[in-house]
């Protein structure tokens, strides 16, 4: 009789652990292996990223956040960095990103301290005024990244979560973001 009771307890503990893990996976944390070099060198193809699905429940995304989102043009999840925030006048000209308050403002060149190489130029010429619920996302490896320049803007409700960590299988190393 006591043996059956131990087996029952072990079963219930395992069932509870499985249910907690399932709830965490579905509602709180997601992880996946990255395919592609658009975020190189911060995140490389083959790295495993950890995504906090609740990161923006009580706060707003900030410039420089690496997020998982979908765009209006491509329903596939993308891993990109937010550079343009809601309500901003955002321009790419001459390889630089310029933020303007108003149309006649000469603007301020965005200092992207998160990029390893500050001489990286952003291809394309565009002028966008972001609506209150829109974000402009770019990959760090601008030469190969398919991002908001081609796929359009990211709507707030299409943000799936914020990347908070990366595990490199190649170097067997964890790095936070």
pLDDT for 118: 67
Mark whether 77 is an active-site residue.
no
CA 25 and chain centroid, separation: 17
Residue 153: both structure tokens together: 């803007």
Task: From 141, 31, 131, 150, select the one nearest 88 (Cα to Cα).
Answer: 131
CB 68 within 8 A of CB 51: yes
Which one of 6, 7, 9, 38 is the catalytic residue? 38
Is 80 tagged catalytic?
yes
Sign of torsion over alpha carbons 116, 100, 38, 177? positive
> How many other β-carbons are positioned within 10 Å of the β-carbon of residue 141?
18
Instruction: Judge residue 33's burial from the number of C-beta atoms within 10 Å of its C-beta, 0-12 exposed, 13-18 middle, 19 or more buried.
Output: exposed
**Mind spelling out the 3-state secondary structure of 100-111?**
ECCCCCCCEECC
Q: What is the pLDDT of residues 46-101, one digit of tens each?
A: 999 999 999 999 999 999 999 999 888 888 889 999 999 999 998 888 888 999 87
* 3-state SS class at 155: strand
For the segment 99-111, what is each residue's pLDDT rounded down to a tens digit?
987 777 888 988 8
Mean pLDDT to the nearest integer, 151-171: 93
pLDDT-based confidence at residue 3 (cuts at 50, 70, 90): low
- For residues 90 and 84, the answer to whether their CB atoms sit within 8 Å is yes
| CATH number assigned to the domain comprising residue 64 | 2.10.109.10
Instruction: Find the domain containing 49 and state its range.
Output: 2-176
Among 80, 145, 148, 162, the active-site one is 80
Q: How many domains does the chain have?
A: 1
Give the pLDDT band (50/70/90) at residue 2. low
């Amino acid at each position: 009789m006591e043996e059956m009771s131990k087996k029952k307890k072990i079963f219930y503990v395992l069932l509870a652990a499985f249910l907690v893990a399932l709830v965490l996976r579905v509602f709180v944390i997601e992880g996946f292996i990255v395919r592609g070099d658009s975020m190189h060198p911060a995140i490389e193809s083959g790295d495993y990223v950890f995504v906090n699905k609740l990161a923006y429940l009580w706060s707003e995304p900030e410039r420089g956040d690496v997020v998982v989102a979908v765009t209006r043009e491509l329903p596939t999840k993308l891993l990109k960095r937010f550079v343009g925030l809601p309500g901003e006048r955002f321009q790419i000209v001459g390889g630089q990103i310029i933020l303007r308050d108003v149309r006649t403002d000469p603007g301020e060149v965005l200092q992207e301290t998160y990029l390893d190489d500050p001489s990286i130029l952003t291809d394309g010429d565009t002028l966008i005024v972001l609506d209150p619920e829109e974000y402009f996302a770019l990959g760090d490896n601008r030469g190969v990244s398919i991002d908001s320049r081609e796929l359009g803007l990211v709507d707030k409700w299409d943000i799936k979560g914020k990347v908070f960590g990366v595990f490199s299988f190649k170097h067997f190393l964890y790095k936070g973001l």
